[in-house]
Amino acid sequence: MLTIVLADDHAVVRAGLRALLENEMDCSVVGEAGNGLEALALVERLQPSLLVVDLMMPGLSGLEVARQARQISSGTRIIILSMHSDESYVRESLRVGVTAYVLKEALSNDFLYALHQAAAGRRYLSPPLSEKALDAYASQTVETTLDLYETLTAREREILYLAAQGMTSAEIAERLMIGVRTVDTHRASMMRKLGLHTPLDLIRYAVRRGIVSLDS
């Protein structure tokens, strides 16, 4: 039987997904998470067959959750749920190893089909994203140079995500339960590694990378 972890910051959404999955699929929803850090903890502990994660999660983005989940549970296949059909999000999702990218506007049958495809190890993108587009995006994910993002620590990635949403060092410190000086140290290190100089540089980088959306 498939085991599934659901990660979305809206409890109502998780409840709806759980009901749909347990009524329509031979599966068991073994865990639910309301933020990225909780999702990773569940994946590490439960090693589920599938992780369904919202693209825009508090704490860590769905893309960062996917990236780290691939490292701690290589057998878990990952399905991103998103309201965004932007090429940057799709390309980055494929690059980090996501198996399926499902738009939130998809019909229930499409969502279930995506999970079946992912469980079988087959890639899936919601319409109107075509198979041709999927292949094109996948071919672009081959890295020919060092990806500077990969040099960041997990904490630096957290701070990048939160800072890109406009949070101050004090707000980030409160969210992560660390000191403001610690935040500033990690922020400076992150900016240096990425070659960024201003807060606007940071936001532009995060949007281009698909870490945050301007309208999220």
Per-residue pLDDT of the chain (216 residues; tens, 9 = 90+): 899 999 999 999 999 999 999 999 999 999 999 998 899 999 999 999 999 999 888 778 888 899 899 999 999 999 999 988 777 788 888 888 899 999 988 889 999 999 999 999 998 988 766 555 566 665 655 544 557 887 888 889 999 999 998 999 999 999 999 999 999 999 999 999 898 989 999 999 988 887 876 655
Instruction: Please state, in angstroms and rounded to a whole number, the distance separating the CA atoms of residues 106 and 32.
Output: 21
Q: Which pLDDT belongs to residue 208?
A: 83
CA distances from 25 to 19, 43, 105, 111, 127 (A): 10, 20, 20, 11, 22
Q: Residue 9 has which token pair?
A: 């910051």
Beta bridge partners of 204: none
CB of 152 closer than 8 Å to CB of 190: yes
For the chain, strand residue ranges (E) read: 2-7, 27-33, 50-54, 77-82, 100-103, 124-125
DSSP 19-52: HHHHHHSSEEEEEEESSHHHHHHHHHHH--SEEE
CB of 128 closer than 8 Å to CB of 85: yes
Residue 112 has φ and ψ, to the nearest 5°, of: -65, -40
Q: Residue 38 has which token pair?
A: 């909780």
Q: Which pLDDT belongs to residue 106?
A: 87
Q: Residue 40 has which token pair?
A: 């990773």
Strand, helix or coil for residue 140: helix
When the candidates are 3.40.50.10740, 1.10.10.60, 1.10.10.10, 3.40.47.10, the CATH number that belongs to 148-209 is: 1.10.10.10
Quickly count: other Cβ atoms within 10 Å of residue 152's Cβ: 19
Question: Residue 39, CB half-sphere, CA atoms under 13 Å: how many?
Answer: 35
Q: Which pLDDT belongs to residue 170?
A: 96
Which residues are CB-neighbours of 201 under 8 A, at least 6 positions away? 191
Q: Which pLDDT belongs to residue 133?
A: 59
Q: Which pLDDT belongs to residue 127?
A: 76
In the chain, where the domains are located: 2-140, 148-209
Q: Which pLDDT belongs to residue 140?
A: 59
Instruction: Please state, in angstroms and rounded to a whole number, the distance separating the CA atoms of residues 76 and 193.
Output: 30
CATH architecture of 2-140: 3-Layer(aba) Sandwich (3.40)
